Every structure is written in C-alpha cells, then in structure tokens.
Amino acid sequence: MPGLLVDISAQPRQKAQAGERVAVIEAMKMEHVRFASADGVVAKVLASKGESLVVNQPSWSLFE
C-alpha cells in the first residue's frame, strides 16, 4: 500500500535479526511497522524518512 515513511531505524551495514523493527510507514491514518523477515545485514537503505512510497516500493534491502 502507498504511504509515508515516518521512521527508518535500519542503517547500512547494521545487523538485523528476524522480527526486529526496521521501518514505520503511515498509511490510511495508521502506522504500519515493518520488521526484518530474516537475520542478516542491511545492504542498502532505499528510501528516506518523510518520503512518500508507492505500492510495493522497497525501503531497505537485507542480505543474509
């Protein structure tokens, strides 16, 4: 769903564990928290805080 990237706590080269909060997106007047789907390291942060996101736009990339 499209929305506004309210917060992104992921940083490049940061370790992330499965279930860890990575970003918060505001859509339809609600905040949707996005979590890491697997253990890994953040490769890139692809969006900035305050950026409007389109449907299925990635905000970060995670590699194991």
Residue 38's Cβ-count burial label (10 Å; 0-12, 13-18, 19+) is: exposed
Instruction: Give the pLDDT of residue 2.
Output: 85
The two three-digit tokens of residue 55, written as one number: 């449907």
Domains in the chain, CATH or no CATH each: 3-48 (2.40.50.100)
| Residue 60: per-residue pLDDT | 66
pLDDT at 8: 92
* Closest to 60 in 3D by CA, of 48, 50, 46: 46
Q: What is the tens place of the pLDDT at every residue in 6-56?
A: 999 988 999 999 999 999 999 999 999 999 989 999 888 888 899 998 887
Residue 1 reports pLDDT greater than 70: no
The pLDDT of residue 17: 94
